[in-house]
Amino acid sequence: MAKTYKQLKEAWVSGHTGSSVADVNIVSLAMPLSILLWSVVQSRMRLFIPYTPAAFLVDFLLNCGVTLFATTIYSSSPWVLNMLLLLPATIIYVLERPAPARRDPLRPYKKDDDAKESKLDPLPVKPFITNYRGAMMVITCIAILAVDFRVFPRRFAKVENWGTSLMDMGVGSFVFTAGVVSVRSSLKEVTKRRPSLSQRLVASIRHSIPLLVLGTIRLISVKGLDYAEHVTEYGIHWNFFFTMGFLPPFVALFQSAFDLVPSYAVLSFVLAATYEMALDWTSLGSFILVGPRTNLLSQNREGIFSFIGYLSIFLAGQSLGSIALPRQPPLPKNASTSYLLRHTMIGKLAIASIIWTALFYFSTSYYGLRLSVSRRLANLPYFLWVSSFNSYQITICCAIEAAMFPTLYIASKNEEEKQRSREATSSVLYAFNRNGLAVFLVANLLTGLVNMTMPTLHMSVLQSMAILIAYIAAVSGLAVVLDRYDVSIKL
């Protein structure tokens, strides 16, 4: 019996087994290598100052085009693309001297500003965090549409039950990086009186409402337009906006637990381990995977129970953010290697990466717990995999920043430091990070529009790439225009 096009689309994104962890790592390496090449060009040639249309084009090709090609045309030969990024970066770095910074005139200071401006922000904006979060948003926006084309390999699509894939990592990384920056407000509270639990809950619910509204709109749209669905991803009614929307209130609750266990890393691991025990030692795991869908809970069991895993991932992101966001204090001269590892930001990030990676391989190895990764369950190995992957990617971006912009945090005034920080940040990635959720929403709308109007499964490679390039160019253009007009849309 011939299948309808909707059934073909649902089959196209269902039943996949993914690829290896190494494959995901190699393909994803294109992101930090793109940031490396951008950073070398900026530090050596100042190509992106002033930010002309030509500079935007180069910025777009490096930080969006490369990611698109890494997940499509070069997906079968990722090392070729990685070397095409690494070689020119190395050549320019060796042959070109660092260009002198071009300074815009700083605004004149009033006497009232002197004290404030001379005291540097203890939580400065870190370009490597902005670049990485922007890059994660870019690959997420690309993948949600590219997955509907045959040019996007099936091994990158979300797995059905067990396994690892690029898109499985993407959804976890979205939550992890949200946790990294969300800890900023908690770090600010260290020097002030922390708001009461009721105040934190009210504030968190205020943040949740727009996301829950978007989740409801998506639910109504999908059902009303008879859009192709992958039910085993989150359930019949649940979607990713609901997962993101319910995170703030639960994070507010866990800030109280932080007083008892003063470590987001330990809190996140305990929560993920407890959830894993419930999956393995009770019937919860089988209920989520094969249970009948008889009521509202069972119909949305994947989204409801995987939320525990995503909450753990968010807390792990906060753990990394508590390392990466604060200003690094001056180091003593002739400090030992062990001291540098324990007291520098990059050393702490490297140690965190090693610990999460060791725990991941212990959880999955033959001599360890012998567990399998499941994004559908958001189980312990999935939590550890996401934490490990993002930790080492952020560590790489931190190392790139330290090597390319060594004087970034050596400034006498706040405004000078902000200017240096902005110059060390890709304008495209900055724009994606600045209005992340708004851009993600527009990307979802465009994805729906393309799928409703075009037979994506029947398109050639050339047609597919033309549409995908036009799509990510439109999304990037919107993000950059919003940033140029100083518009911040907070959802």
pLDDT in tens, 108-159: 545 455 555 557 788 888 999 999 999 999 999 999 999 999 999 999 999 9
User: What are the residue ranges of helices labelled H in 225-344?
Assistant: 231-234, 240-257, 264-281, 284-290, 296-299, 301-324, 337-343
Identify residue 57 by its one-letter amino acid code: L
Q: Residue 172: which of 371, 367, 66, 309 has the closest Cα?
A: 309
Average pLDDT, the chain: 88
436-453 and 427-434 helices cross at what angle (nearest 10)? 90
- For residue 284, pLDDT over 80 is answered with yes
Res 24: pLDDT: 95
Backbone angles phi, psi at 417, to 5 degrees: -65, -40
Residue 164's DSSP bridge partners are 19
Q: Residue 243: which of 270, 198, 208 has the closest Cα?
A: 208
Q: Residue 273: which of 166, 180, 360 has the closest Cα?
A: 360
- For residue 437, pLDDT over 50 is answered with yes
Cα distances (angstroms) measured from residue 34 to each of 31, 54, 93, 352: 5, 17, 14, 24
For the segment 390-405, the average pLDDT, to the nearest whole number, is 95
Q: Provide the pLDDT confidence category of residue 349 given band limits of 50, 70 and 90.
A: very high
The pLDDT tens digits of the residues spanning 12-53 come to: 777 788 899 999 999 999 999 999 999 999 999 999 988 999
Q: Provide the pLDDT confidence category of residue 192 given band limits of 50, 70 and 90.
A: low
The pLDDT tens digits of the residues spanning 57-105 come to: 999 999 999 999 999 999 999 999 999 999 999 999 999 888 775 554 4
Q: Tokens for 71?
A: 């997940």
Phi-psi region at 416: left, alpha or beta (left = phi > 0; alpha = psi -120 to 50): alpha
The pLDDT tens digits of the residues spanning 453-478 come to: 888 888 999 999 999 999 999 999 99
**Range with the poorest average pLDDT among 107-116, 167-176, 275-284, 302-311:** 107-116
30 neighbors 89 (Cβ within 8 angstroms): no
Please tell me the pTM assigned to this model: 0.92
